[in-house]
Amino acid sequence: MKVDIQSLGTFNRLAHEGAEEATAAMCQMTGLDAVVDVTKITLMDRDDIGEQLRDEEYVGVQFAFEGELAGDTVLVFDREGSRTIAESLIPGGGASDSMARSSVKEIGNIMMSGFIDGWADFLTATIEHSPPEYVEGTGEAILPDRRRPDSDDADDGDGADTSGQNTEQIFVFKSEIEWVGESVSFYIYMLPEYEPLAEVMGRHGQAQGDAIPVDKLQVFNEMTYDGTQRAADNVEMMTGIETEAEVSQLSFAPIEDVPKQVGTDTYVGTVVEFTGVPSGFLMVLFDEDSAVHIAEAMMPIEMDADGLTGQHKNAIEELGNIMTSGFVDGWANVLQTSVDHTPPRLVHDMGRAIVDPLAAQVGQHQEHAFIIDSEMRTDDIAFGAEIHALPNETELRQALDELLVDRADQTDADIEQIF
Amino acid sequence: MPDVLIADDSEFMRNLLREILEEDHDIVGEVENGVEAVETYKEKDPDLVMMDIVMPIRDGIEATDEIKTNNPEANVIMCTSVGQEEKMKEAVKAGADGYITKPFQKPSVMEAIEDVVPT
């Protein structure tokens, strides 16, 4: 299957408009004020869906849908948010679990019907959905069964597994909705089955000129995971802290939504501009506590200063440099090209403020962007790192065109052979 | 003891290399970019240059090329985070004598040096 950039953009807009319809319905019923913050299409490992839900308690409603598109969709609120909704629908209702449950189920039904109807209208087809099912759970367990039932038979010809690692990558449409003035979010996930989505995307795709073969997107995603693991290995070697790549995903979103991906927390890290095919920007970001921990683990002497000193920043700058190389070298070696990057520039700011100028620069040439997001974590100390890449869309497409799937595992260069 | 020039834009990495090398080598200079590397090489004529690749103003491959053009007997080890095959080939073309990738540990640095400047 090939998917063209234009239809990815159209489908993203459709999901965003559906989320706006659903949010408007909720606002009308409750009097609460909410806005759709981000909508993106993500190609990711099925097992990683919902990672960002972490360990919070959620409630929501889930539907199965079938017809022109088939799959599952779910709307989830954190538990506190569900009580606020119940309270606004029926004063005093938030105090009763059964009333809160009933409120969530009803409002979810109305919201999600609007969401699905928008898709059906666009496709000029019927999409049937099941009655709403109330769901509750912790973190990603709230989502529909994320494991495919026939996981022992991963390579079944549906084109969705090319890794040989018994993983399955799927497209997920995710909208994040924020309540104005509250630190509460809720999410809409749409998990379409691969075949009907592929068929619809193929039908709505236009020129061949900007089409990307999806199997190569999947291979590229796997290369990105390898790059993240290599960066994690570099962290481990420099600090002695056992570090694992956790999530790696390739998303597609309007350029104006890109800064929202990183959020409003303060980060310390590095930014580099890379040139070659593809060109773009790459950020290695640590939350402030992680930056202090990781920098101190790199230093031979114990620090007696509190907080982030110049020495910490020097260490982070070098670590960011090495992690950047670990991340992009694999692409270069598989593509048999070189990807140069500028020396790392240290950043210490709110996430969105770091990404904003980079997205503006990339946005001079494109309306949507692919965003490569990776995370790594360790259990030893409080440490988390995120890598975000923002490649030029046209050049990424060119790189994927040139990508030989058979070479996808040749990410390492052999120094001994060359010297 | 062999004289070594360290060229790396990262203060952290210069310190690390100095700590690894200073027991058995004389560190005759530490510079932050390729232009300073070429100038300091001319001035100090060290036995060995440990050269980063990604540096501001002028990168390590260009600096290596100029150093080796001026003195084909110069010894230069690329000491870099870049692990790309094409970049390694560029380094060979510029005349680099060795290549080690960051992050490294003392044994791999000493081994690379021994290959290029045997004691």
For residue range A258-290, list pLDDT tens digits in order. Answer: 898 887 889 999 999 999 888 999 999 999 988
Q: What is the pTM of this model?
A: 0.83
CB A277 within 8 A of CB A398: yes
Mean pLDDT of A75-90: 82
pLDDT of residue A93: 64
**If DSSP codes are grouped into helix, strand and coil, which group holds residue A143?**
coil
**Interface probe with B: pick from A321, A333, A339, most Cβ of B within 10 Å:** A321
Q: Chain A closest CA to B43's CA: distance in Å? A: 26
d(CA A74, CA A35): 18
**If DSSP codes are grouped into helix, strand and coil, which group holds residue B8?**
coil
Nearest CA in chain B to A419: B98
Predicted ipTM of the assembly: 0.85
The neighbouring-strand residues paired with A189 are A74, A174
Q: Which residues does chain B have within 8 Å of residue A341's beta carbon, measured at their own beta carbons?
A: 54
pLDDT of residue A164: 38
Please provide the DSSP assignment of A360-382 as one string.
HHHTTT-SEEEEEEEEEEETTTT
Answer whether B10 sits within 8 Å of A340, measured CB to CB.
no
Mean pLDDT of A15-35: 85
B90 touches chain A (CB under 8 A): yes
Nearest CA in chain B to A331: B84
Q: Chain A closest CA to B16's CA: distance in Å? A: 9
Pairing, β B48-51 against β A57-67? unpaired
CA dihedral for A133, A137, A142, A148, sign (positive or negative): negative
Q: What angle do CA A220, A222, A225 make, to 5 degrees?
A: 115
Answer whether B85 sits within 8 Å of A238, measured CB to CB.
no
B83 touches chain A (CB under 8 A): yes
From A68-82, A107-121, A157-171, B29-43, the region with the lowest mean pLDDT:
A157-171
**Interface probe with B: pick from A318, A402, A411, most Cβ of B within 10 Å:** A318
d(CA A160, CA A347): 38
pLDDT of residue A159: 40
Q: Which residues does chain A have within 8 Å of residue B56's beta carbon, measured at their own beta carbons?
A: 342-343
Of residues B74 and A125, which shows the higher confidence score? B74
CB A279 within 8 A of CB A364: no
Place of tokens 């599952």: A72
For residue range A200-249, list pLDDT tens digits in order. Answer: 877 776 655 667 777 788 888 888 888 888 888 888 888 888 888 887 78
pLDDT of residue A1: 66
Place of tokens 């090398």: B21
Q: Which two tokens stand for residue B30?
A: 């530490």
Q: Is the pLDDT of residue B89 over 50?
A: yes
Q: What DSSP designation does B72 have?
A: T
Of residues A121 and A364, which shows the higher confidence score? A364
Mean pLDDT of A345-357: 95
Burial class (CB in 10 A: 0-12, 13-18, 19+), A324: buried
d(CA B82, CA A146): 37
Q: Is the pLDDT of residue A309 over 70?
A: yes
Q: Is the pLDDT of residue B63 over 70?
A: yes
Alpha-carbon torsion angle A89, A95, A101, A103, nearest 10: 0
d(CA B66, CA B71): 8
- Within 8 A by CB and 6+ apart from B65, the residues are B94, B95
Q: Which residues does chain B have within 8 Å of residue A414's beta carbon, measured at their own beta carbons?
A: 85
Q: Which residues of A150-165 are buried (b: 16+ CB within 10 A; e: fewer)?
A: eeeebeeeebbbbbee
CB A262 within 8 A of CB A37: no
d(CA A63, CA A162): 29
pLDDT of residue A399: 85
d(CA A135, CA A137): 7
- Within 8 A by CB and 6+ apart from A52, the residues are none
pLDDT of residue B87: 92
The mean pLDDT of chain A is: 82
d(CA A121, CA A115): 10
pLDDT of residue A160: 41
Nearest CA in chain A to B33: A343
Q: Is the pLDDT of residue A166 over 50?
A: no
pLDDT of residue A417: 85
The neighbouring-strand residues paired with A267 are A287, A349
Domain B3-112: which CATH class?
A: alpha beta
* Closest to A156 (Cα-Cα) out of A228, A269, A319, A148: A148
pLDDT band of B74, cuts 50, 70, 90 = very high
Q: Is the pLDDT of residue A161 over 60?
A: no
The neighbouring-strand residues paired with A388 are A283, A373
**Interface probe with B: pick from A234, A237, A340, A341, most Cβ of B within 10 Å:** A340
pLDDT of residue A205: 64
CB A321 within 8 A of CB B10: yes
pLDDT over 90 for what percent of chain A? 16
d(CA A101, CA A333): 53
Q: What DSSP designation does A141 have?
A: G
From A163-172, A237-246, A384-393, B93-102, the region with the lowest mean pLDDT:
A163-172
- Nearest neighbour of A317 by CB, restricted to B12, B56, B80: B12
For residue range A327-346, list pLDDT tens digits in order. Answer: 889 888 888 888 899 999 99
What are the structural domains, with CATH classification, of chain A?
A: 2-204 (3.40.1550.10), 211-418 (3.40.1550.10)
Q: Which residues does chain B have within 8 Å of residue A328's beta carbon, measured at their own beta carbons?
A: 84
pLDDT of residue A217: 81
Q: Is the pLDDT of residue A143 over 90?
A: no
pLDDT of residue B51: 98
Q: Chain B closest CA to A287's CA: distance in Å? A: 20
Place of tokens 């773009």: A280
Nearest CA in chain A to B54: A343
